[in-house]
Amino acid sequence: MNENGKPQDDAVEKELKGVPEEFLDDGSEDAEEEGAQGLVGEALANLKNDLQEAEQATLYAKAETQNLRRRMEKEMADARNYAATGFARDVLSVWDNLSRAVDAIPESLREDDRMKGLVVGIEATQRELEKVFKSHGIERIPAVGMPLDPNQHQAMMEIPSEEHEPGTVMQEMQSGWMIKDRLLRAAMVGVSKKPD
């Protein structure tokens, strides 16, 4: 009989007579080989699965590293761009005082030879401060004649006017400033409204 339990033909039976038992193939080795191949196949499938998981984890780690690098670059750029924010905010009061001083000088003193040097010096200091602001990305927010922008203007009062559209800035009490694309200080303004 063969391994399937079917009888072998007579020629095969005669041929196998006299062959020692240990040399006869009873099919058990094939079953062992199939079992071993099944274990190897299962181990191979597990290894492939582990490899896919490791590749996925590596991709996630690379993506996370790239995101972290981008975040750090942005934070460094922001730190560079906005490092002077506190200092600039403090220096704005110096600008305000210089502006008030220049505005307070009457025309008669501007033309007086004794005061001309002082007036020119104050105006030159104001221009130089504005130049330094500009070189550091600090710019004045336009206000008078512009429509009220709540992101840049702080309305302090309403002024009745028939000449201006409601919501138009008519008066600037304190100048507003931006540093790069961020608000440093909102402009304090008076805004037009329809008369009662």
- Which pLDDT score, from 0 to 100, does residue 29 have? 56
User: How high is the mean pLDDT in each 10-residue block of the chain (196 residues)?
Assistant: 56 74 62 70 88 93 93 86 78 87 83 83 89 87 86 86 84 87 87 83
**pLDDT at residue 8 in the model:** 56
Reduced 3-state DSSP string for 69-127? HHHHHHHHHHHHHHCCHHHHHHHHHHHHHHHHHHHHCCHHHHHCHHHHHHHHHHHHHHH
- Yes or no: say if 133 and 88 are a contact pair by the CB < 8 Å rule: yes
pTM of the model: 0.57
Q: Give pLDDT, residue 53.
A: 93
User: What pLDDT does 166 receive?
Assistant: 85
pLDDT for residue 35: 65
pLDDT of residue 16: 73
Q: What is the pLDDT of residue 161?
A: 82
In angstroms, what CA-CA distances link 63 with 58, 59, 84, 127? 9, 6, 33, 49
**What per-residue confidence (pLDDT) applies to 67?**
92
pLDDT for 122 equals 86
